[in-house]
Structure 1
């Protein structure tokens, strides 16, 4: 199980992913900026209904139902500025529990059709499993659609047709570390936007070089 410092050494920066830049959200990301991470007690997080959808719901925040012990989160975007932002996180779990994060996502995709996030969060629907990425010890990729209510210029619901926002997730296990990514197609955009494969492969390759990545 990697420590906070080890995760921070193993996260990619601009030198590892040419053509991309990073922005730290939590921990010390690839840009060298440090933002104190908050290690929250996941047992106190609100429960999703239906329960079968909870793993998918937790992953919308790059988390899971298992307690984590270290985390680095950052945004990755093209240097050119032409393209969507990818959110990514490296999260350290107990070795016996990290595989359960992937297994629970697989089950959730099969058994969950749609859900509303607790406490007035977004609605999500149409989980769709994709071909497993060939990276890390195991990995899963899937799509999930966020349903955004139509609002007026003041941000208040206006009764119009909701807008579907497609998300693409890639979640990889490397030892006891879960590396998760998602990107979204902006509202009104066309087609779908995918997590960049080169960023995923570069991140897992760097993590695998860590002396204790199991």
Structure 2
């Protein structure tokens, strides 16, 4: 299965919440203090650095890697419960509105048909990156289920459960959930990692043989993908 076909299936099955703007990079907020040319230069430099640190074809054996450059609107997913909004945000085109720049990648497994991984890198002001992790931990603890609206599409997420996941970085949060559409539950695993002021986000879904009325077996962010991405972030973004 071609990775773009797999990634598109992720978008459809998970209510188009995974990488709704799956382009190479998207601009985020600004502190408003720098001049417009300075902000533009800084933004371009950050975007270039993220592109170099993002996964590329050949980085992880057994996966096809794609950067989807389809132009789409940057709508923000809306949760039906305020405490759950961070969980809705993280499934959008960027982890939350405070992201300054975001680069997205899609990976399709060549060994396990239907296994798709969305990986993104985002730059933040460090306090905003730290707050994102705190907000996600609080949301996972407070929300066992919620509904999300995006672009006229509604989806229900249930079985939200904190999940141990060993990974590098300064700190991380991991949880499982199920996306329900037309009485079909599809399991999702999401891991968000902070490395300095960079947020690395992984979302995994298995589209193989959905089961009517109940969730499939749990999926997990592949460790070879996560380890390679974190290694590349440390090597590229920490370089002088």
Shorter-chain TM-score category?
0.7 to 0.9
Residue 22 (str. 1) matches residue 59 (str. 2): no
- What is the aligned partner in structure 1 of residue 10 from structure 2? none
Residue 164 (str. 1) matches residue 195 (str. 2): no
Which moved further from structure 2: 125-134 or 192-201?
A: 125-134
- What is the aligned partner in structure 2 of residue 32 from structure 1? none
Structure 2 residues without counterparts, runs of 5 or longer: 1-41
Deviation per CA, 1:167-207, whole angstroms, max 9, x where unpaired? 01111111111111111233227412211111101101111
Deviation per CA, 1:40-75, whole angstroms, max 9, x where unpaired? 5xxx83642210110111122253334222111111
Residue 8 (str. 1) matches residue 51 (str. 2): yes
- What is the aligned partner in structure 1 of residue 201 from structure 2? 180
CA contact (8 A) 2:54 2:105 kept: no
Q: CA deviation at 1:114?
A: 1.6
Structure 1 residues without counterparts, runs of 5 or longer: 26-34, 150-161
Which moved further from structure 2: 194-203 or 65-74?
A: 65-74
Aligned residue pairs, count? 189
- What is the aligned partner in structure 1 of residue 24 from structure 2? none
TM-score, with structure 1 as normaliser: 0.78
| Larger helix fraction of residues | 2
User: What pairs with 1:126-205 in structure 2 (closer than 5 Å)?
Assistant: 126-149=159-182, 162-186=183-207, 187-188=210-211, 190-205=216-231
Q: Give the Cα separation in 1 of the matches to 2:65 and 2:232.
A: 15
Which moved further from structure 2: 171-180 or 112-121?
A: 112-121
